[in-house]
């Protein structure tokens, strides 16, 4: 089975033990000296853009949504595009943490904490847009069903309301999942820290975690249940987001391909963002032994696969329009191909259809600079996809007399850049205060990789092992660990 | 009437440097008739709860029933709002158009179930609980790093300081400490 391919790194490389895994990840948090110029650079750029968010918010709240480029008929502009873009990015985190857990993909361990954090911060950016696009965000609580004096209720037959429930549930469950995963790691930071204040803070946050087997027992039950609950949840969220469009009768929106196509697009954009962050961070913090080339390679492959599904969606959309025989659907096809925003459609095909094909080549998947640049192209492509679907479809719908045009204003751009700032600020703030790799799961993975091999007093060994600790080194019980780690790691 | 209480005994705590040794030791200790056991590890060691015969299914059942409650509440809320309290004709659909209530009812199911999974787990584990006797064990801060511990509580009917200590050493403990409450 052992392959000599350079991409077949093990999931954890280098000279390792429980202690080195523990110390190297926890020290990033406990030792401020680990954060160099690059951390400050990104953090300060994020902080700067966060101020742009403040200004864009202030002006919007002062003047109203008219400061944006939206108009009649293009009532959904950058606000909804950015909402869908951000929430899509969040989906990769849940995919990695929940779906790959249920599928017993051991490689998720190195990236799940990081990706879950990305999910929460991306959803927090996404949430800003629908909250503001209502025009009067101070009465957004009207979206929730609560008994009130005027006897009004929300309209439960509308996908827009389903979205309120879907996104708020998604944000809540993502935070719960992340917090539960953090609990043992916070306890580990509490025990490792020698600073009294730091120790107390992590001590309070750890809730008194001891690592008792009775606690682990219930912990693992809860964790796997959360994964099982998050899996249909994440699929439902982007499905419901796509219902916002598909349930309407606007040409270009009213198609049944939308739910699967949106979910695939979300995972595609999300993996691009995970790689965008993971490639520099693993280099800056010396985590190449934990986020190995194999992880990078597999993430790139997931991107390629979901990218192909998305591209298939584009082909089908074209096909539907032409095959429908419907004059308005045909009009939309023409609008995309020859309309005023035709350049955005061709850019989209280039970004999401052509460029990701480079990922077929192992050489390119192994080239971190090329891969990072492809991820940027994918992020742009996914943004353009939402632009083409949302705004370009609205430019010209049924009556030529009500056709219009859309141009973003500086406040559209400012708000978008602002949410990017918020994302960077939160993400890099997180790297500073919490372990960016799940420490206890890495130790568990190491335990499985070393296949019951131990260096303790050898007299007791053998009483338990139901499998020989041979170089086949399958995990126990589960399917063989991908990556076929060697049994006898130096310890 | 003195405020200083006599320290009470929590039990004996043995330290191990390897999860497999801990697993074997836990099994042997349980086989030797000890029942008030607890083991501590920096990561979940599969088979360890079986080794000390600990089984608990309160969390999954809680999640199951809370999920049922969630779906019930989700449908009930929407039926009350859109059918009973303020019947609203949307696009000529039936007043009780339950298929359109599925998405929100589904989200409510997940929300209730997820909350109960997390808070149920914390509650059954007795968290938050900042002080626990086991923290008095020397070097216990390593239990979350790279060391493994096995505790035999003093309430165990077979507990006897000398015998139990000798037994724990015989199953591979590096050190055995007497821990007070």
B18 & B64 share domain: no
Instruction: CATH number of the domain at A471, please.
Output: 1.20.1630.10
Centre a 10 Å sphere on the Cβ of residue A455 and count the other Cβ atoms it contains. 11
User: What is the rounded CA–CA span in Å between residue A468 and residue A295?
Assistant: 28
ipTM: 0.92
B118 & B155 share domain: no
Is the model's pLDDT at A372 over the cut of 90?
Answer: yes
Is residue A227 in a domain?
yes
The DSSP bridge pattern shows strands B175-180 and B9-16 to be: antiparallel
The DSSP bridge pattern shows strands B9-16 and B37-40 to be: unpaired
Is residue B64 in a domain?
yes
Least confident of A29-33, B53-57, B163-167: A29-33
A-chain residues within 8 Å CB-CB of B46? Answer: 476-477
Look over chain A and give the mean of its residue pLDDT values, rounded to a whole number: 86
Q: Which of residues 111-140 of B touch A (CB under 8 A)?
A: 111, 113-115, 117-118, 120-122, 124-125, 127-132, 134-135, 140
B165 & B120 share domain: no
Is residue A482 in a domain?
no
User: What is the rounded CA–CA span in Å between residue B126 and residue B11?
Assistant: 20
Residue in chain A nearest B48 by alpha carbon: A213
Is the model's pLDDT at A48 over the cut of 50?
Answer: yes
Backbone dihedral angles phi then psi of residue A339, each to the nearest 5 degrees = -70, -175
Helix (H, G, I), strand (E, B) or coil at B45: coil
Is residue A487 in a domain?
no
A-chain residues within 8 Å CB-CB of B31? Answer: none
If phi > 0 it is left, if psi is from -120 to 50 it is alpha, else beta; for residue B74 that is alpha
B120 & B62 share domain: yes
A437: nearest Cα among A83, A115, A2, A101 = A115
User: What is the rounded CA–CA span in Å between residue B99 and residue B86?
Assistant: 18
A-interface mutation test, from B36, B51, B52, B121, most A Cβ less than 10 A away: B121
pLDDT, mean of residues A478-491: 41
C-alpha distances (whole Å) from B119 to each of A119, A180, B2, B68 are 22, 10, 39, 17
DSSP string, A62-97: HH-GGGSS--SS----HHHHHHHHHHHHHHHHHIII
B47 & B64 share domain: no
Least confident of A92-106, A211-225, A394-408, A469-483: A469-483
**Interchain pair A465, B20: CB under 8 A:** yes
Binned at pLDDT 50, 70 and 90, residue A483 comes out as very low
Copy the structure tokens of residue A134. Answer: 């209502």
Quote the DSSP letter at residue B95. Answer: T
Binned at pLDDT 50, 70 and 90, residue B92 comes out as confident
pLDDT, mean of residues A343-348: 94
Helix (H, G, I), strand (E, B) or coil at A4: coil
**A287-333 tens-digit pLDDT:** 888 888 888 999 999 999 999 999 999 999 899 888 988 899 998 99
**Interchain pair B86, A216: CB under 8 A:** no
Q: Distance from first CA to last CA of chain A, Å, rounded?
A: 24
Q: Yes or no: say if A420 and A49 are a contact pair by the CB < 8 Å rule.
A: yes
B121 & B62 share domain: yes
Quote the pLDDT of residue A67. Answer: 93
- Percent of chain A scoring above 90 in pLDDT: 54
- Percent of chain B scoring above 90 in pLDDT: 40
Quote the pLDDT of residue B67. Answer: 95
Is residue B2 in a domain?
no
A87 touches chain B (CB under 8 A): no
Quote the pLDDT of residue B123. Answer: 94
Number of domains forming the structure of chain A: 1
Is residue A5 in a domain?
no
Residue in chain B nearest A190 by alpha carbon: B141
Q: Evaluate the omega torsion of the peptide bond into residue A189 and state whether it is cis, within 30 degrees of 0.
A: no
B136 & B51 share domain: yes
Greatest mean pLDDT range, A172-176, A191-195, B135-139: A172-176
- The residue range of the domain holding A451 is 14-136+155-475
Is the model's pLDDT at A481 over the cut of 80?
Answer: no
Is the model's pLDDT at A457 over the cut of 50?
Answer: no
pLDDT, mean of residues B98-117: 94
Token pair 């502009």 is found at: A77
Q: At what angle do helices B102-124 and B58-79 cross, to 10 degrees?
A: 150
A-chain residues within 8 Å CB-CB of B122? Answer: 207
A485: nearest Cα among A154, A120, A16 = A16
Is the model's pLDDT at A12 over the cut of 90?
Answer: no
Enclosing H/E stretch for B15: strand B9-16
Binned at pLDDT 50, 70 and 90, residue A169 comes out as very high
Residue in chain B nearest A179 by alpha carbon: B118
B98: nearest Cα among A164, A143, A160, A156 = A156
B73 & B115 share domain: yes
**A467-479 tens-digit pLDDT:** 343 333 333 333 4
Is residue B139 in a domain?
yes
B51 & B63 share domain: no
Reading across the β-sheet that carries B9-16, which strands appear in turn? B37-40, B148-153, B9-16, B175-180
Among B80, B102, B125, residue at a domain's last position: B125
Q: Residues A353, A265, A394, A418: is their CA dihedral positive or negative? A: negative
Is residue A490 in a domain?
no
B116 & B73 share domain: yes
B-chain residues within 8 Å CB-CB of A220? Answer: 44
Binned at pLDDT 50, 70 and 90, residue A194 comes out as confident
**Interchain pair A17, B146: CB under 8 A:** yes
pLDDT, mean of residues A215-237: 92
Quote the pLDDT of residue A61. Answer: 93
Look over chain B and give the mean of its residue pLDDT values, rounded to a whole number: 89
Is residue A8 in a domain?
no
pTM of the model: 0.87
Residue in chain A nearest B89 by alpha carbon: A157
Quote the pLDDT of residue A459. Answer: 37
Quote the pLDDT of residue A478. Answer: 39
- How many beta-carbon contacts under 8 Å exist across A and B? 231
Centre a 10 Å sphere on the Cβ of residue A437 and count the other Cβ atoms it contains. 23
Beta bridge partners of B16: B148
Is residue B4 in a domain?
no
Binned at pLDDT 50, 70 and 90, residue A485 comes out as very low
Q: What share of chain A is helix, strand, coil (3-state, %, to 5)?
A: 70, 0, 30
pLDDT, mean of residues A209-217: 92
Q: Yes or no: say if A264 and A304 are a contact pair by the CB < 8 Å rule.
A: no
Quote the pLDDT of residue A387. Answer: 93
Q: Yes or no: say if A478 and A104 are a contact pair by the CB < 8 Å rule.
A: yes
pLDDT, mean of residues A216-239: 92
Q: Report angle CA A221, A447, A96 to the nearest 5 degrees.
A: 55
pLDDT, mean of residues B118-141: 90
B-interface mutation test, from A98, A182, A198, A211, most B Cβ less than 10 A away: A211
B170 touches chain A (CB under 8 A): no
Q: Yes or no: say if A259 and A238 are a contact pair by the CB < 8 Å rule.
A: yes
- The residue range of the domain holding B148 is 9-55+132-180
**A147-165 tens-digit pLDDT:** 889 888 999 999 999 999 9
**Interchain pair B144, A214: CB under 8 A:** no
B72 & B51 share domain: no
**A420-456 tens-digit pLDDT:** 999 999 999 999 899 999 999 888 888 888 865 444 3
Is residue A485 in a domain?
no
Token pair 């194999």 is found at: A294
Quote the pLDDT of residue A84. Answer: 93
Is residue A2 in a domain?
no
Residue in chain B nearest A212 by alpha carbon: B40
Enclosing H/E stretch for B10: strand B9-16
Is residue B16 in a domain?
yes
Number of domains forming the structure of chain B: 2
Quote the pLDDT of residue A482. Answer: 45
Instruction: CATH number of the domain at B31, please.
Output: 3.30.70
Residue in chain A nearest B58 by alpha carbon: A218
B121 & B63 share domain: yes
Token pair 């309120």 is found at: A164
């Amino acid at each position: 089975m052992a392959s000599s391919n350079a991409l077949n790194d093990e999931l954890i490389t280098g000279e390792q033990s429980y202690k080195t895994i523990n110390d190297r990840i926890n020290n990033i948090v406990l030792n401020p000296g680990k954060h160099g110029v690059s951390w400050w650079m990104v953090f300060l750029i994020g902080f700067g853009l966060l101020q742009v968010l403040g200004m864009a918010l202030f002006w919007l709240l002062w003047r109203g949504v008219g400061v944006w480029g939206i108009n009649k008929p293009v009532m959904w502009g950058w606000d909804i595009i950015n909402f869908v873009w951000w929430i899509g990015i969040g989906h990769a985190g849940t995919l990695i943490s929940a779906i790959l857990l249920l599928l017993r993909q051991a490689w998720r361990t190195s990236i799940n904490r990081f990706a879950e954090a990305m999910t929460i911060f991306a959803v927090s950016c996404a949430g800003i847009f629908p909250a503001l696009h209502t025009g009067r965000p101070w009465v957004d609580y009207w979206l929730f069903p609560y008994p009130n004096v005027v006897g009004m209720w929300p309209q439960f037959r509308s996908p827009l309301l389903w979205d309120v429930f879907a996104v708020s549930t998604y944000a809540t469950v993502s935070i719960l999942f992340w917090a539960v995963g953090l609990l043992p790691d916070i306890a580990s930071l509490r025990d490792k820290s020698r600073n009294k204040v730091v120790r107390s803070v992590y001590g309070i946050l750890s809730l008194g975690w001891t690592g008792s087997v009775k606690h682990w027992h219930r912990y693992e039950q809860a964790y796997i249940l959360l994964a099982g609950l998050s899996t249909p949840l994440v699929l439902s969220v982007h499905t419901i987001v796509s219902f916002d469009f598909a349930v309407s009768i606007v040409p270009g929106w009213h198609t049944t391909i939308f739910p699967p196509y949106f979910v695939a697009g979300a995972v595609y954009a999300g993996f691009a963002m995970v790689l965008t962050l993971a490639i520099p961070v693993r280099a800056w913090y010396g985590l190449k032994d934990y986020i190995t080339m194999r992880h990078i390679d597999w993430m790139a492959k997931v991107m390629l696969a979901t990218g192909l599904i998305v591209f298939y969606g584009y082909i089908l959309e074209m096909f539907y329009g032409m095959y429908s025989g419907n004059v308005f659907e045909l009009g939309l096809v023409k609008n995309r191909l020859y309309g005023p925003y035709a350049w955005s459609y061709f850019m989209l095909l280039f970004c999401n259809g052509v460029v990701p094909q480079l990922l077929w080549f192992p050489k390119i998947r192994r080239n971190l600079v090329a891969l990072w640049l492809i991820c940027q192209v994918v992020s742009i492509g996914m943004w353009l996809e939402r632009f083409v679907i949302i705004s370009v479809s609205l430019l010209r719908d049924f009556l030529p007399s009500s056709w219009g045009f859309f141009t973003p204003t500086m406040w559209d751009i400012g708000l978008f850049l602002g949410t990017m700032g918020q994302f960077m600020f939160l993400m890099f703030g997180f790297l500073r205060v919490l372990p960016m790799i799940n420490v206890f799961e890495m130790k568990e993975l190491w335990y499985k990789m070393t296949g019951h091999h131990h260096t303790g007093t050898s007299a007791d060994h053998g009483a338990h092992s139901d499998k020989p600790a041979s170089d086949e080194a399958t995990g126990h019980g589960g399917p063989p660990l991908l990556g076929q780690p060697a049994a006898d790691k130096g310890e | 009437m003195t405020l200083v209480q006599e320290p009470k005994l929590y039990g004996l705590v043995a330290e191990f440097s390897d999860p497999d040794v801990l697993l074997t030791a836990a099994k042997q200790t349980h086989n030797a008739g000890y029942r008030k056991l607890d083991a501590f590890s920096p990561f979940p060691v599969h088979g360890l709860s079986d080794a000390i015969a600990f089984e608990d299914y309160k969390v999954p059942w809680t999640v199951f029933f809370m999920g049922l409650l969630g779906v019930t509440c989700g449908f009930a809320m929407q039926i009350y709002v859109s059918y009973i309290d303020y019947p609203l004709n949307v696009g000529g659909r039936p007043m009780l158009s339950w298929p359109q209530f599925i998405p929100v009812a589904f989200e409510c199911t997940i929300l209730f179930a997820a909350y109960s999974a997390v808070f149920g787990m914390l509650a059954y584990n007795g968290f938050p609980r900042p002080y626990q006797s086991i923290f008095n064990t020397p070097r216990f801060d390593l239990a979350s790093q790279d060391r493994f511990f096995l505790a035999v509580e003093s309430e165990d009917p077979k507990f006897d300081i000398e015998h139990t200590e000798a037994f724990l050493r015989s199953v591979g403990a590096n050190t055995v400490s007497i821990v007070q409450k």
